[in-house]
Amino acid sequence: MPPEQGFVPSLHYRPLTPLYDVFIRLGLKEKAFRGKLIKHAGIVPDHLVLDVGCGTATLTLMVKKAQPEAVVTGFDYDLDALAFARRKITRARLDIALVRGTALELPFADMSFERVLSSLMFHHLTTENKQRAFREIFRILKPGGEFYLADFGPPNSRLMRFLTFVVGRFEKLSDNTGGRLPVMMAEAGFTDVAHLDDYNTVFGTVAFYKGKRRAR
Query: In the chain, what are the helix, strand and coil shares in percent, each to the nearest 5?
Result: 45, 25, 30
The fraction of the chain above a pLDDT of 90, given in percent, is: 65
Per-residue pLDDT tens digits for 47-73: 999 999 999 999 999 999 999 999 999
Most confident among 74-83, 108-117, 192-201 (mean pLDDT): 108-117
Question: What is the predicted pLDDT for the residue at 23?
Answer: 54
For the cut 70, the answer to whether the pLDDT of residue 157 exceeds it is no
pLDDT: is 6 or 180 the higher one?
Answer: 180
178 in Cβ contact with 114 (< 8 Å) = no
* pLDDT tens column, 158-180: 545 544 554 544 456 788 988 99
- pLDDT for the residue numbered 27: 54
Separation CA 26–CA 192 (nearest Å):
33
Instruction: Give CA–CA dist 80/15, Å, rounded.
Output: 9
Domain boundaries, the chain: 3-211
Q: Find out whether 152 and 123 touch, Cβ atoms under 8 Å.
A: yes
Q: Which fold has domain 3-211?
A: Rossmann fold (3.40.50)
pLDDT greater than 50 at residue 36: yes
Angle of helix 58-66 versus helix 30-41 axis, rounded to 10: 50
